[in-house]
Structure 1
Amino acid sequence: MFANRLSALSRNLMTSAVRRGADGGVPGGNLPFQIKNRFRLSAVFIVFFGSGLALPFVLVRHQLLKK
């Protein structure tokens, strides 16, 4: 009973947000980057996640080379 009421409330909230003009339901309209170009998107993801993965290794190397 409570779950049905909660799901109906959330469904009505989402549809009213689209009706008010929150990006008009355009896929990717609320993202801070463009998803039209697959190759640019792939490069941005590789740089973003690659830098986060490489950071600990760079910091360890810096500490080992420091005198």
Structure 2
Amino acid sequence: MIGRSSLFAKNAISTFVRNSSHGGFPGANLPFDINNRFKLTGLFIVFFGSAFGAPFLVLRHQLTKA
């Protein structure tokens, strides 16, 4: 019984992947390009750096208000 259900799940997943329209290669469905590693590194630095720096900028803004 477990063997049949796992076989069904495997077939269903492979059918979904085969019929999906995301391009068929890793990274095709991402909203950014992963082929240029320098651009990708820059995007990661900006994304995570802004999230890390936001509390410090908010704190500075609150402390400098008169």
* TM-score normalized with structure 1 length: 0.79
Instruction: Report deviation, 1:14.
Output: 2.2
Correspondence for 1:46: 45
Q: TM-score, normalised by structure 2?
A: 0.81
Match of 1:11 in 2: 10
Q: What stretches of structure 1 of length at least 5 have no aligned partner?
A: none
For residues 4-43 of structure 1, the C-alpha deviation after alignment (integer angstroms, 9 at most, x for no partner) is: 72x4444223211222143243010111111010000000
DSSP-derived class of the 2:31 partner: coil
Query: Unaligned regions of 5+ residues in structure 2, if any?
Result: none
Tell me, yes or no, if the aligned pair for 1:18 and 1:24 is still in contact at 8 Å: no
Identity level (%): 48
- Counterpart of 1:33 in structure 2: which amino acid? F
Runs of 4+ in 1 over 4 A off after TM superposition: 1-4
Using the alignment, how far apart are the partners of 1:44 and 1:15 within structure 2?
32
RMSD: 2.1
